[in-house]
């Protein structure tokens, strides 16, 4: 094992927290049972790293197996790092006929053709997701396995989820995706979050949505706490209506886990009080940022408890309706502009 492989191995093992490492090593199946028994997981982390590194040296494992371990860890714990969503558009007629092997071949062929040194690994997970790990090199240097890019795509959907991609490699990846899936182009999805599961749930609509209908059946499903017969609520009708509105905008039950929503304002200042700021030709540029440990839950509570008034403003409901959390608002009107601006890194 040369120095590069050793450093990659050390980094991979160091990054896996102790609670996952035992199961992962068992699943990995590259260490013998004696070696696995010899590992004592109560020891400090550096000792475990050293032990596993020496076992891997003894077994003369290669880079492929080590990157396999890293990929297995990421597939089981996808909610790390920052994920960005992209959307494939202009599907060609035979886009629905692309099958897994065809996608794999085309993707790898394209990338190997344009980048001289690159290492690509693809795995299909049981929930129909294709995980791709790419270590980028360039014309002179070998692939850098310490900073791989992860890409997740569900075949025949138009969404691609990308983590840890540098700007200079973006064009290669986008070209490869567009060609392999037989679409016309790819555009920025304006959605970024730490939780891949949350992002997938939001875009692939895997949360419990509520559609407006005349019967408002959700009101009967709601399990209200049984209250004393002597206690009566005056505004129960309003309360039910607010609950219905909030669920229509943000879903019922557990919501996808988003952390932030950012609105960039490129509008003119419209207050009356400030002489210096109003009546100017230039835009009053500002950024409004909502943060929460679970943003959709907080927004839903705001609407349901009456803190936010009236029908839910389309600026907020656009988060779920359009599946994005970065918006640019211009002066053309109250609707949300969907102009693609430079993607935040």
Q: Which residues bind another protein (CB under 8 A)?
A: 227-228, 230-235, 237-238, 305-306
- Write the CA distances from 27 to 24, 30, 33, 69, 270, integer angstroms: 5, 9, 12, 9, 61
Rounded to the nearest whole angstrom, what is the least distance from the CB of residue 214 to another protein in the complex?
Answer: 19
What string of DSSP letters covers 133-178? EEEE--SSS---TTS-EEEEEETTSSEEEEES--HHHHHHHHHHHH
Identify which of 94, 112, 113, 95 has the alpha carbon closest to the alpha carbon of residue 153.
95
Q: Which is nearer to another protein, 3 or 225 (CB)?
A: 225
Cβ of residue 306: shortest distance to another protein, in angstroms?
7
Residue 242 C-beta: closest distance to another protein, Å = 11
Query: What minimum distance in Å lies between the beta carbon of 127 and another protein?
Result: 41
- Residue 102, judged by CB atoms within 10 A of its CB (0-12, 13-18, 19+), counts as middle
Minimum CB distance to another protein smaller for 231 or for 342 = 231
Residue with Cβ nearer another protein (229 or 333): 229
- Output 235 or 344, the one with its CB closest to another protein: 235
CB of 200 to another protein, least distance (A): 35
Nearest distance from residue 300's CB to another protein, in Å? 16
Give whichever of 254 and 306 is closer to another protein, judged by the CB atom: 306
Q: 4 has which bridge partners?
A: none
Pairing of β 326-330 and β 260-267: parallel
Nearer to another protein by C-beta: 167 or 230? Answer: 230
Shortest CB 183 distance to another protein, Å: 50
Q: How many whole angstroms separate alpha carbon 98 and alpha carbon 136?
A: 26
Q: Give the Cα-Cα-Cα angle 262, 263, 266 (nearest 5 degrees).
A: 145
The full 3-state SS of 251-274, as one line of letters, equals CECCCCCCCEEEEEEEECCCCCCC
Which residue in 118, 133, 187, 198 sits closest to 159, CA to CA?
187
Look-up of token digits 């891949």 = 196
Rank residues 237 and 253 by Cβ distance to another protein and give the closer one: 237
């Amino acid at each position: 094992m040369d120095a590069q492989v050793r450093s990659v191995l050390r980094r991979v093992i160091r990054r896996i927290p102790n609670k996952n490492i035992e199961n992962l090593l068992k699943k990995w199946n590259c260490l013998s049972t004696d070696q696995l028994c010899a590992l004592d997981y109560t020891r400090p982390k550096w000792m475990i790293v050293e032990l596993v590194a020496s076992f891997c040296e003894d077994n003369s494992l290669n880079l492929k197996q080590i990157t396999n371990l890293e990929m297995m860890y990421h597939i089981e714990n996808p909610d790390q790092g920052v994920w960005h969503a992209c959307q494939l558009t202009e599907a060609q007629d035979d886009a629905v006929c692309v099958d897994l092997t065809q996608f794999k071949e085309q993707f790898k062929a394209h990338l190997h053709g344009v980048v001289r040194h690159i290492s690509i690994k693809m795995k299909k997970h049981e929930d129909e997701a294709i995980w791709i790990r790419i270590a980028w090199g360039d014309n002179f240097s070998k692939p850098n396995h310490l900073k791989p890019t992860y890409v997740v795509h569900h075949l025949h959907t138009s969404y691609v989820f990308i983590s840890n991609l540098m700007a200079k490699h973006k064009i290669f990846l986008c070209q490869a995706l567009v060609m392999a899936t037989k679409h016309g182009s790819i555009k920025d999805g304006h959605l970024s979050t730490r939780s891949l599961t949350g992002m997938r749930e939001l875009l692939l609509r895997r949360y419990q949505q509520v559609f407006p209908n005349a019967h408002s059946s959700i009101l009967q499903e709601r399990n209200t706490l049984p209250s004393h017969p002597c206690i009566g609520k005056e505004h129960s009708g309003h309360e039910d209506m607010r609950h219905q509105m909030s669920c229509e905008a943000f879903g019922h039950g557990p919501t996808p886990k988003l952390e932030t929503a950012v609105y960039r304002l490129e509008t003119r200042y419209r207050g009356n009080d400030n002489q210096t700021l109003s009546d100017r030709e230039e835009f009053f540029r500002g950024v409004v940022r909502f943060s929460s440990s679970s943003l959709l839950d907080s927004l839903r509570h705001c609407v349901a408890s009456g803190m936010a008034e009236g029908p839910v403003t389309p600026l907020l409901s656009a988060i779920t309706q359009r599946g994005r959390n970065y918006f640019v608002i211009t002066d053309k009107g109250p609707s949300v502009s969907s102009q693609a601006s430079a993607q935040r890194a």
